[in-house]
Amino acid sequence: MKRAQVTVPLDIPDVRVLQTEINKVGELIITIESTKEGTICRQCGREIHKRHGYDEWTTIRHLPVFGRPSYLRYRPRRYQCLECEGHPTTTQRVEWRESNSPHSMAYDDHLLLQLVNSTIEDVSTKEVVAYDCVLGALERRISASVDWWQYTSLGVIGLDEIALKKGHRNFVVIVTARLADDQVAILGVLPDRQKDTVIEFLRSIPERLKRTIHTVCCDMYEGFSEAVREELKHVRIVIDRFHVARAYRGGLDDLRKQELGRLKKELPAAEYKLLKGSLWALRKKPASLSPEERRLLRLLFRYSPQLKQAYELQQQLTTIFDQHLSLAAAKTKIRAWIKRIAQSGLRCFDSFLNTLGRWWYEILNYFVNRENSGFVEGLNNKLKVLKRRCYGLFNLKHLFQRIFLDLEGYRLFAG
């Protein structure tokens, strides 16, 4: 019985199809020849047209067709240069395959689209292609560093330190730009947060783009702030409110530990047990507390009025950051808050007050435009997932390429 057939265009420029067949394992083998004439001499760079036979037959992976893997099979043409000494020959370069790639460019792009928000293992399994072949596509098609020509303006830059592996001192710094349309773009991955490392990166930004940066969002590290002050003199430094909140939450947490230690000694064991889970209850937003957590906090606060006071003060500061205040209004409110801390007699915020004093302007700068690095909002979670998925991310170049692909892959490779 004759099976129904369809004809599909190959959509590769400058080739002729000589033969198509389906091999024993059901793969489609398409034999083609290039109809393009000439190539560029590998030695002198001139265009050459003198034919000089063929290379060996080569077979490269191409896009799947109706669920079948497909391959292009062809003999690359060779050309001879009559100008260069010794008349060297050059294999013809074609637009649809990068030299020595085992894939057509279309197949590389297909793999990269599969790789967006996924893992190399996963794509390798689904496509039945070796791990290194997927990695090869990433290395061929995604640049290992930023292409500055892509951007006309940068606006807000984020410097964010992330730990690559929990419990290890394996930190890298992710540099992002929050572009005008709220898109986050990755600009670089730095090996550490040292001032010199950051300066070196900032110097690599072309002058025309440096002028378009108006804000840098970062954490409270001298390496960041000093590098920015030296290299981007006109720029406003903003401490991400996320980092500020982490610092004052730390104060409350210290007091909680201290108070629970006291209560463990003073309370009967059964009563003390009821206070389990207080860490998370204290960290949650009041509005999202469950009824049990509310009861837990009420109990805890009855035993520790100090903790209640500290908790309320912490909430007040969060509220200040939540409000759309002018810089001047925020300054007044935060000064009043500091006064209340002093009157309370609490010492648990001492370290935070110190930090607040040292980074006063940078922390207050948040109220100018309420900016953050965008990384903190969007990319941080993405990266957490990426880290879980890939244990091969200790290569900074690959990390850059994977983040770039996750951010831009759909735009670049989907249609």
Q: Which span (62-70, 75-83, 166-174, 270-278) binds Zn ion, by CB under 5 A?
A: 75-83
Least distance between Zn ion and beta carbon 76 (Å):
18
Interface pick for Zn ion out of 10, 31, 36, 43 (rule CB under 5 A): 43
Q: Which is nearer to Zn ion, 84 or 164 (CB)?
A: 84
How many Å apart are CA 121 and CA 21, to the nearest integer? 30
Please tell me whether residue 41 binds Zn ion under the rule CB under 5 A.
yes
User: Are 69 and 133 a contacting pair, CB within 8 Å?
Assistant: no
169 φ/ψ angles, rounded to the nearest 5 degrees: -85, 65
Please, what sign has the CA dihedral across residues 259, 261, 267, 271? positive
317 φ/ψ angles, rounded to the nearest 5 degrees: -70, -40
How many Å apart are CA 209 and CA 234, to the nearest integer? 13
Q: Which is nearer to Zn ion, 88 or 392 (CB)?
A: 88
Orientation angle between helical segments 105-115 and 120-127, nearest 10 degrees: 130
Interface pick for Zn ion out of 18, 44, 327, 329 (rule CB under 5 A): 44
User: Are 134 and 115 a contacting pair, CB within 8 Å?
Assistant: yes
Q: Which is nearer to Zn ion, 81 or 135 (CB)?
A: 81
Least distance between Zn ion and beta carbon 47 (Å):
10
Q: What is the DSSP letter of 287?
A: G
Q: Which is nearer to Zn ion, 11 or 85 (CB)?
A: 85
Least distance between Zn ion and beta carbon 41 (Å):
3
Least distance between Zn ion and beta carbon 83 (Å):
5
Least distance between Zn ion and beta carbon 79 (Å):
10
Q: Which is nearer to Zn ion, 83 or 200 (CB)?
A: 83
- 162: β partners: 172
Please tell me whether residue 89 binds Zn ion under the rule CB under 5 A.
no
Please tell me whether residue 39 binds Zn ion under the rule CB under 5 A.
no
Apex 283 CA angle, 278 and 287, nearest 5: 105
Please tell me whether residue 81 binds Zn ion under the rule CB under 5 A.
yes
- Please list, residue by residue across 198-226, b when 16 or more beta carbons sit within 10 angstroms of its beta carbon and e when fewer do: bbebbeebeeebbeebbbbbbbbbebbbe
Least distance between Zn ion and beta carbon 84 (Å):
3
Please tell me whether residue 407 binds Zn ion under the rule CB under 5 A.
no
Q: Which is nearer to Zn ion, 41 or 334 (CB)?
A: 41
Please, what sign has the CA dihedral across residues 117, 157, 159, 249? negative
Beta pairing class for 184-190 and 171-178: antiparallel
Least distance between Zn ion and beta carbon 40 (Å):
9
Interface pick for Zn ion out of 84, 209, 325, 412 (rule CB under 5 A): 84
Q: Which span (38-46, 166-174, 246-254, 309-317) binds Zn ion, by CB under 5 A?
A: 38-46
Which of these, 83, 67, 79, lies nearest to 37 by C-alpha position? 79
Q: Which is nearer to Zn ion, 20 or 43 (CB)?
A: 43
Q: Which is nearer to Zn ion, 44 or 130 (CB)?
A: 44
For 242, the 3-state DSSP assignment is helix
Least distance between Zn ion and beta carbon 74 (Å):
24
Count of CB atoms within 10 A of residue 240's CB?
Answer: 25
Interface residue list for Zn ion (CB under 5 A): 41, 43-44, 81, 83-84
